[in-house]
């Protein structure tokens, strides 16, 4: 998994509430949080928190995570259903859908932990919109290597199989709009789902006689994605009252309807939406706590009860884990009723995400992204805490008080860093969703970005629903919700990816398809 080590650039810009660049602040008036130690002790202080306070099983070394069976033992508690079960009620796929969404909104290769970061000087190489530019890139004219010449996305195959993969070059690197969407097997196949869903919609648009099938398919997929983001994803991860306050469809005095923002005091802009660093550097990193050490992928090629680790730290040239940036294996192909609640899900499935709490899986303490094994930046918790300091983020307690939210109580050994505070707040609330501060930042940002996009369905067709779209088929694409809702499972159905073991077997035995 790449987590933005970046490169330093020398830039300065004023810390001002009146200037908003691609990145900005929603709490510019609050002082930065600083660790309660001297400057020379900061790294040791953060490392102690990351290795002991925040690690799911403190004391385990990389060597303890080199065996898939040992990794599976760490996640064995996910099926108990008792007080020791670290899982939420959220299906595991949403952990990686959240990662996909993040890659659609932000990409800053220039930020660095080696210096203080001024958000007014950072560049966002992603539009801060839910527009799938990580799927479509700059379009078929500027990036033709992603397309087949007919308005469809190129699709690859798993070697010797009819199972599908992202299109790849000779080195095995994916030819997609954002290389980060090949970081692991789950987000890779969510990217694949969007490519295949687009192609399905092009087929339907051509069959319906649309003059511009590519544009019709793209617009429908973008709006369906926006619907899933707000009505499915945010509904699962944010406090219900905060979500309802953030965005609502209101009737005007003359009988029209329009979407209204209810948290403008939290997040607003002058000319166009910006990306708040309190969101991108702290609040939206809640998903790191939802990552498990390992997952069961599919029955035909890996088997029931056999977990694949996120990272295999044996140093093998081709490790048997779920890391990406390489051709997909049949054993890592996702059987989606094991990751989403679908009509064929049964027994312990779908697998569940970890709780939103102040603990991270041991797998995230040993990233080894080309660094020395002793480099603390291998530990994701250390990296996130360090980044919050480099961006001068305020304390969680100060943010809560700014919005008249009762602050949670932290122990003396717990940091008041905004990222940690938001995780701890979720933990205290039960771990099923974000608490009030986290929900406020995330819901306000998502609502503001949706409303701030002039091409979103909220602005072009406020009363649009997926049921209204002629390219989407209610009861076929959204069969898993009984035809009553459109969720992430609808995208999987639309894409035609394998839902159950029979689908995996059938597609495995099919002849490989052409690259188109």
Q: What angle do CA 494, 180, 125 make, to 5 degrees?
A: 105
Per-residue DSSP letter, 230: I
**More confident: 21 or 335:** 335
Show me where the domains of the chain are located.
23-509
Tokens of 339: 């990751």
Closest CA relative to residue 192, chosen from 169, 216, 167:
167
Cα→Cα distances 161→156, 164, 190, 422, 492, Å = 11, 8, 19, 44, 20
pLDDT 10s digits, 270-316: 888 999 999 999 999 999 999 999 999 999 999 998 999 888 766 67
User: Coil, strand, or helix at residue 319?
Assistant: coil
pLDDT 10s digits, 9-52: 333 333 455 545 688 899 999 999 999 999 999 999 999 999 99
d(CA 201, CA 195): 10
Tokens of 44: 């040791």
Tokens of 447: 């609502």
Tokens of 470: 């002629």
Give the predicted TM-score (pTM) of the model.
0.92
Which superfamily does 23-509 belong to?
Haem peroxidase domain superfamily, animal type (1.10.640.10)
Task: Name every residue whose Cβ is closer than 8 Å to that of residue 145 and which is 6 or more positions away in sequence.
Answer: 154, 175
Tokens of 72: 């599976």
pLDDT at site 463: 97
* Bridge-based pairing state of the strands 247-251 and 257-261: antiparallel
Residues 100-115, mean pLDDT to the nearest whole number? 68
Cβ 118 vs Cβ 13: under 8 Å:
yes
Cβ 277 vs Cβ 25: under 8 Å:
yes
d(CA 252, CA 371): 57
């Amino acid at each position: 998994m790449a987590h933005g080590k970046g490169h330093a650039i020398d830039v300065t810009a004023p810390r001002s509430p009146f200037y908003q660049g691609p990145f900005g602040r929603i709490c510019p008036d609050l002082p930065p949080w600083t660790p309660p130690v001297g400057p020379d002790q900061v790294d040791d202080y953060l490392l102690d928190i990351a290795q002991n306070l925040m690690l799911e099983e403190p004391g385990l070394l990389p060597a303890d995570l080199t065996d898939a069976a040992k990794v599976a033992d760490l996640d064995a508690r996910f099926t108990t259903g008792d007080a020791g079960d670290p899982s939420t009620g959220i299906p595991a796929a949403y952990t990686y859908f959240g990662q996909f969404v993040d890659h659609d909104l932000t990409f800053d290769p220039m930020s660095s932990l080696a210096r203080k970061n001024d958000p007014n000087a950072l560049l966002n190489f992603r539009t801060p919109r839910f527009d799938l530019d990580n799927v479509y890139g700059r379009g078929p004219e500027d990036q033709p290597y992603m397309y087949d010449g007919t308005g469809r996305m190129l699709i690859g195959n798993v070697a010797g199989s009819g199972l599908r993969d992202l299109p790849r070059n000779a080195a095995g690197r994916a030819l997609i709009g954002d290389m980060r969407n090949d970081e692991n097997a789950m987000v890779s196949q969510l990217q694949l789902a969007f490519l295949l869903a687009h192609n399905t919609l092009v087929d339907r648009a051509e069959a319906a006689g649309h003059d511009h099938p590519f544009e019709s398919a793209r617009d429908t997929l973008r709006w369906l994605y926006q619907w899933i983001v707000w009505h499915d994803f945010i509904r699962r991860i944010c406090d219900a009252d905060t979500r309802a306050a953030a965005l609502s469809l209101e009737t005007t005095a003359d009988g029209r309807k329009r979407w209204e923002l209810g948290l403008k005091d939290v997040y607003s802009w002058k000319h166009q939406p910006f990306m708040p660093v309190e969101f991108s550097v702290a609040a939206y990193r809640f998903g790191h706590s939802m990552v498990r050490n390992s997952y069961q992928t599919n029955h035909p090629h890996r088997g029931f009860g056999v977990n694949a680790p996120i990272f295999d730290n044996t140093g093998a040239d081709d490790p048997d884990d779920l890391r990406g940036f390489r051709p997909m294996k049949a054993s890592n192909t996702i059987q989606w009723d094991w990751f989403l609640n679908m009509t064929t899900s049964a027994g312990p499935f779908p697998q569940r995400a970890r709780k939103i709490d102040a603990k991270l899986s041991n797998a995230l303490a040993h990233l080894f992204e080309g660094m020395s094994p002793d480099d603390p930046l291998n530990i994701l918790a250390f990296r996130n805490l360090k980044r919050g300091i480099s961006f001068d983020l305020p304390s969680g307690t100060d943010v809560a008080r700014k919005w008249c939210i009762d602050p949670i109580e932290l122990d003396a050994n717990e940091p008041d860093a905004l990222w940690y505070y938001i995780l701890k707040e979720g933990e205290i609330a039960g771990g099923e969703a974000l608490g009030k501060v986290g929900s406020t930042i995330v819901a306000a940002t998502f609502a503001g970005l949706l409303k701030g996009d002039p091409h979103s369905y909220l602005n072009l067709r406020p009363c649009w629903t997926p049921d209204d779209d002629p390219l989407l088929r209610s009861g076929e694409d959204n069969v898993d919700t009984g035809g009553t809702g459109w969720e992430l499972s609808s995208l999987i159905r639309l894409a035609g990816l394998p839902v159950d073991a029979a689908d995996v077997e059938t597609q495995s035995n099919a002849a490989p398809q052409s690259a188109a």
